[in-house]
Amino acid sequence: MTANNYKAWDVSEADYPANGPMEERLKFLLRYAILAPSGPNTQPWKYAIHDHSISVFADLSRALPFVDPSNRTLYMSVGCAIANLAVAGAHFGFAPKVSLPSGRRPVPGQDDLFPQIQRRHTTKDRYENAEIEPFILEEIERNINLPGLYLSYLPDKDAKAKMADLVSRAHQTQLAKKEFRHNLGDWLRGNWTTEPDGMPLYTFGVPDVVSLGFPAAFKEFDLSLPVIYRDSGLIHDCSTLAVLTTDQDDKQTWTMCGFALENLLLRATFYDVRASFFSQPIGLAYLREELKMQVNRGHPQLIFSLGMAKPMRPSPRRPLEDVIIKQS
């Protein structure tokens, strides 16, 4: 039997209330929105259902002031959820139109990526020793079709070494700080977690018994060495590294970036290509600047690696009732 905090993944399209009231149909789409990835699985989103539309809000009560002080990752996560919503909407016969408060309108992709929503997950443990075929990388890149947003692949050893060094320095700086460790440690979960959010340690390959004491140890001690070791593996052994950059650098751009990212991830999932993320250097102004000089294509938003990886157990999700704003 599926535990409550994993039930969101059991959604079945056969349960779509095709002949039900519009409110029920829109609510059903949200069951797919909440399966989106989010920086340490905070699921920082709220939804309001209207007559023929859904408003998506950033839930700033789930912000991480020391880990993500600008809320860049938080807004990108909201963009990921909007992407899932648009993909699910198109699949169930709506013609979804997305618009941001500025009037910018990210255009949903044309492909049916819907089946990939439930298959997608982040890889945090290790990649298989296999290269991604070039045509797949080209196809993934085609999903980045928003103006002012760029995807750069960094497949060669030299670029990987530079990124691994950048990520290591970010970990060394951040994990030396108690506030940072506490802020992130609050979102680490033991392997038998019953919480509806946060990151269960099995996703990082941590054994069950070790996972029990790990969140407390992470908060107390500087564990940058094992963290750097894990991330270095995910960087050196991936098929390619990638960086998303943008012309602008504000919360609506971050949301657009998340929208594009999730479309890219769903397309990658179709080919069993998985991603791992390295937000840390972007969270530090001086390392973000260094990365900006290296990539030379606007403001860096996210470093991630892509590789072939086996499917794994998903992470928990909050129940729909927790993220829907009740209207009077």
Ligand X SMILES: Cc1cc2nc3c(=O)[nH]c(=O)nc-3n(C[C@H](O)[C@H](O)[C@H](O)COP(=O)(O)O)c2cc1C
Q: Which residues bind ligand X (CB under 6 A)?
A: 37-41, 73, 76-77, 80, 121-122, 124, 199, 258, 277-280, 302, 314-315
What burial letters (b/e) apply to 118-156, b meaning 16+ CB within 10 Å? bebbbbbbbbeeeebeeebbebbbebbebeebbbbbbbe
**Rounded CA gap, 143 and 206, in Å?**
33
- Pairing verdict, β 188-189 and 199-200: parallel
Please state the closest distance from residue 51 (CB atom) to ligand X, in A.
30
Please state the closest distance from residue 72 (CB atom) to ligand X, in A.
8
Please state the closest distance from residue 276 (CB atom) to ligand X, in A.
7
Please state the closest distance from residue 260 (CB atom) to ligand X, in A.
11
Nearer to ligand X among residue 25 and residue 269 (C-beta): 269
CA distances from 127 to 10, 264, 312, 313 (A): 26, 18, 12, 15
Nearer to ligand X among residue 77 and residue 143 (C-beta): 77
Please state the closest distance from residue 207 (CB atom) to ligand X, in A.
18
Nearer to ligand X among residue 73 and residue 263 (C-beta): 73
Please state the closest distance from residue 54 (CB atom) to ligand X, in A.
20
**Rounded CA gap, 199 and 203, in Å?**
7
Nearer to ligand X among residue 116 and residue 279 (C-beta): 279
The tally of CA atoms less than 13 A away on the side-chain side of residue 204 is: 22
**Rounded CA gap, 157 and 238, in Å?**
10
Nearer to ligand X among residue 42 and residue 240 (C-beta): 42
Is the CA virtual torsion 291, 242, 75, 173 positive or negative?
negative
Q: Which residue's entry shows tokens 């938003």?
A: 301
**Rounded CA gap, 60 and 63, in Å?**
5
Closest residue to bound ligand X by CB: 37
